[in-house]
């Protein structure tokens, strides 16, 4: 049997200090998801949190999240999404590595692959309205170019909150990565990216875009309804939450999703 390495993916936690009206309570959902995932895969090598760690990007919500992650039996890799705030996150999670420009990006060697963590949170001025589209500015694109160059022939997986292409949902596709085609031009030029892992859409979706396979995972809280032409990105239903299970082996990459009890 081919030796394999497995890691878990949870995304769109939307932690708040107090529950939002009509929405699931995020702390209990996260506790349930972590417990279920680690029961299903007790030998997981790590847990990847694929962005939208909080809903409001406030320091108090990050402080509520941190103790839920500190005592886990495996390493946790947190990422940023459009509902996060980079400064507040770094205040509460100063130990998380950043790139030379202060973006929450890094490379992790795992199972014969390089897992590249991207920060797609859009830069904005202090006090400016939140914009939910994703961004890879020139500095972040240059960093990605450099780490893909350094990887050489080593196969890479990229984890990013915003999908860099359409997913078929009009409301969320209006909020995808702004530089999607430039991103795909870059990874196509290097030729060593084997898979993309994304959050943001709150659904289980997979496909291939420009010859690169990709997967999107459900949230630990509310889910996006099946409404391809809808224009309201805030609509959620009560489909079960889920976690992702990524298995790396000599034959390739397997991506599973596993629903977990919501009560």
Across the range 250-259, mean pLDDT stands at 95
CATH number at residue 133: 3.60.21.10
Across the range 27-32, mean pLDDT stands at 96
Asked if 40 and 72 touch (Cβ cutoff 8 Å), the reply is no
Torsion of CA 57, 63, 69, 71, to 10 degrees: 180
User: Rounded CA gap, 48 and 20, in Å?
Assistant: 25
* 47, pLDDT greater than 50: yes
Across the range 143-149, mean pLDDT stands at 98
The total domain count for the chain is 1
User: Rounded CA gap, 183 and 136, in Å?
Assistant: 8
* Planar angle of CA 174, 202, 228, nearest 5 degrees: 50
Across the range 164-169, mean pLDDT stands at 97
Across the range 104-132, mean pLDDT stands at 92
- Residue 236: Cβ-neighbour burial (10 angstroms; 0-12, 13-18, 19+): middle
Across the range 160-170, mean pLDDT stands at 97
Task: Give the confidence band of 2 by pLDDT, cuts at 50, 70, 90.
Answer: low
Q: What is the pLDDT of residues 191-211, one digit of tens each?
A: 999 999 999 999 999 999 999
Determine the pLDDT at residue 263.
Answer: 64
- Helices and strands in the chain, H and E counts: 6, 11
Compare 127 and 31 and report the one with higher pLDDT. Answer: 31
Region of residue 90 (left: phi > 0; alpha: psi -120 to 50; beta: else): alpha
Determine the pLDDT at residue 156.
Answer: 98
Q: What is the mean pLDDT of the chain?
A: 95
Across the range 15-42, mean pLDDT stands at 94
Q: What is the pLDDT of residues 147-160, one digit of tens each?
A: 999 999 999 999 99
Angle between helix 26-40 and 59-70 (nearest 10): 30
Torsion of CA 77, 79, 84, 86, to 10 degrees: 90
- Give which of 56, 44, 51 is closest to 11, Cα–Cα: 51
* 228, pLDDT greater than 60: yes
Across the range 90-116, mean pLDDT stands at 98
* 1, pLDDT greater than 70: no
Q: Which of 32-36, 43-47, 60-64, 127-131 has the lowest mean pLDDT?
A: 127-131
Q: Which of 49-53, 67-71, 121-125, 240-244 has the lowest mean pLDDT?
A: 121-125
Give the helix ranges, DSSP H, for 71-114.
86-92
Number of neighbours of residue 165 by Cβ within 10 angstroms: 19
User: Rounded CA gap, 75 and 69, in Å?
Assistant: 9
Compare 215 and 234 and report the one with higher pLDDT. Answer: 215
**What is the enclosing helix (H) or strand (E) of 143?**
helix 138-151
Determine the pLDDT at residue 221.
Answer: 96
- Give which of 17, 14, 16 is closest to 33, Cα–Cα: 14
Strand 47-49: give its sheet, edge to edge. 76-78, 47-49, 4-10, 242-249, 252-259
Across the range 229-239, mean pLDDT stands at 89
State which residues form the domain around 247.
4-259
- Give which of 142, 154, 145 is closest to 115, Cα–Cα: 154
C-alpha distances (whole Å) from 200 to each of 55, 142, 221 are 12, 24, 12
Across the range 13-40, mean pLDDT stands at 94
């Amino acid at each position: 049997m081919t030796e394999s390495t497995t890691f878990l993916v949870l995304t769109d936690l939307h932690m708040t200090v107090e529950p939002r009206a009509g929405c699931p309570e995020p702390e209990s959902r996260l506790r349930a998801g972590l417990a279920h995932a680690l029961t299903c895969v007790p030998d997981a090598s790590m847990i990847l949190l694929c962005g939208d760690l909080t809903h409001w990007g406030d320091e108090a919500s990050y402080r509520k999240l941190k103790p839920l992650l500190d005592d886990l039996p495996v390493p946790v890799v947190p990422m940023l999404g459009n509902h996060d705030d980079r400064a507040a996150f770094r205040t509460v999670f100063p130990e998380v590595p950043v790139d030379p420009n202060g973006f929450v990006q890094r490379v992790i060697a795992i199972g014969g692959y390089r897992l590249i963590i991207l920060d797609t949170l859009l830069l904005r001025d202090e006090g400016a309205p939140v914009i939910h589209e994703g961004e890879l500015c020139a500095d972040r694109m240059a960093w990605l170019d450099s780490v893909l160059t350094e990887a050489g022939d080593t196969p890479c997986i990229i984890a990013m909150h915003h999908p860099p292409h359409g997913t078929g949902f009009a409301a969320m596709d209006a909020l995808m990565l702004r530089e999607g085609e430039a991103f795909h031009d870059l990874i196509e030029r290097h030729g060593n990216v084997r898979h993309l892992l994304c959050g943001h859409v709150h659904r289980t979706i997979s496909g291939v875009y420009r010859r690169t396979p990709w997967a999107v995972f459900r949230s630990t809280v509310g889910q996006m309804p099946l409404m391809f032409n809808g224009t309201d990105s805030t609509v959620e239903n009560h489909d079960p939450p889920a976690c992702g299970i990524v298995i790396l082996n000599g034959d390739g990459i397997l991506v599973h999703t596993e629903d977990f009890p919501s009560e």
